[in-house]
Structure 1
Amino acid sequence: MFLGTYNPKLDEKGRIILPAKFRDELEAGIVMTRGQEHCVYVFSSREFENVHDKIRQAPVTSKQARDYLRVFLSGASAETPDKQHRVTIPPTLRSYASLDRDLTVIGAGSRAEIWDTAAWESYLAEQEAVFANTAEEVIPGLF
């Protein structure tokens, strides 16, 4: 499970060092793809297979499912961390998420997300107030 917030730097070759707490789960390989809100989703290879199995169940007759599948999978890139636990973020994903040198990597349960730090701080500032003031059940059975 991916938890926490980390602030690695993007190097001149487009690589980041994976947070130490994420390495065991990601050492066998990862899949990065476009995430919602213009971040990069990072899945372990195993978890991405589970996600793909669910996507394959979507009806081909649904235009919304086809559109989502195309955007999600066309941006996907399988990567393997090197011995220094660095992984390259493909240029198309760096561009999509407007990633510069300062990054924020967050744990989001079954995946990690890579954000431009300024974009993350803006998103978090906006969402923290919504989170604190939530008065109804958002996730069934949680609260």
Structure 2
Amino acid sequence: MVGFLGTYQVSLDEKGRLNVPAKFKGLMDKQYDNPNLVVAVMPDKEGRKDREYLIAFPQEEWLVNEEKLSHLSGLDGDDRNKMREIYAQASECEVKSGKILIAQHQRERAGLKKEVTLVGMSKTFEIWATDRFEI
């Protein structure tokens, strides 16, 4: 399986929508029963707010990762904090006419303005504010 590959520059429109690159959209249509996404805010490991970004999961990939999260203990404070950090900032995104609407709170957390960089990461893709993205 060839997954999400490459780096793409796209623009957000005034409503916070972005065009999914044709190669990403084609892969989603071909390999996944449900072409919609779950978008999650990924905090920086060092706690820097200026390094947060988004990860877009096809719903089937989200379920695989959710299974891994389900093994965290809801009674352990550190595990619960990790779960909260991910679930509280995640949202489902419908792909309509090749576009996805990024929730306002996610755009703010990730620092998304007009120019956005999408980065293929095999089974997911990242959504970065272009001025935050570094290889």
| TM-score > 0.5, shorter chain as reference | yes
Out of 29, 43, 64, the position equivalent to 2:36 is: 29
SS of equivalent residue, structure 1 residue 119: coil
Q: 1:10 maps to which residue?
A: 12
Equivalent AA in structure 2 for residue 34 of structure 1: V
Q: Which secondary structure state, in structure 1, belongs to the residue aligned with residue 128 of structure 2?
A: strand
Q: Which structure: greater helix fraction?
A: 1
CA RMSD in angstroms comes to 1.3
Hey, what does 1:58 align to over in structure 2? 72
The separation in 2 between residues aligned to 1:25 and 1:34, in whole angstroms, is 23
Q: 1:31, 1:42 within 8 Å by CA — same for their partners in 2?
A: yes
Pair 1:68 & 2:88 matched = no
Q: In the alignment, residue 40 of structure 2 is paired with which amino acid?
A: T
What is the CA-CA distance between 1:3 and the residue it aligns to?
A: 1.3
The answer to whether 1:92 aligns with 2:105 is yes
Question: Given residue 71 of structure 1, which amino acid in structure 2 is its aligned partner?
Answer: E
**Change in 2 beyond 3 A, CA 1:102/1:14:** same
Tell me whether 1:43 sits opposite 2:57 in the alignment.
yes
Equivalents in 2 of 1:65, 1:23: separation in Å?
34
Unpaired runs of at least 5, structure 1? 125-143
TM-score by length of structure 1 reads 0.79
Q: Secondary structure at the match of 1:72?
A: helix
Larger relative strand fraction = 2
The one-letter code of the counterpart of 2:82 is Y
1:107 paired with 2:120, answer yes
Number of matched pairs = 121
Greater C-alpha radius of gyration: 1
1:87–1:58 CA distance, 2 compared to 1 (3 A):
same
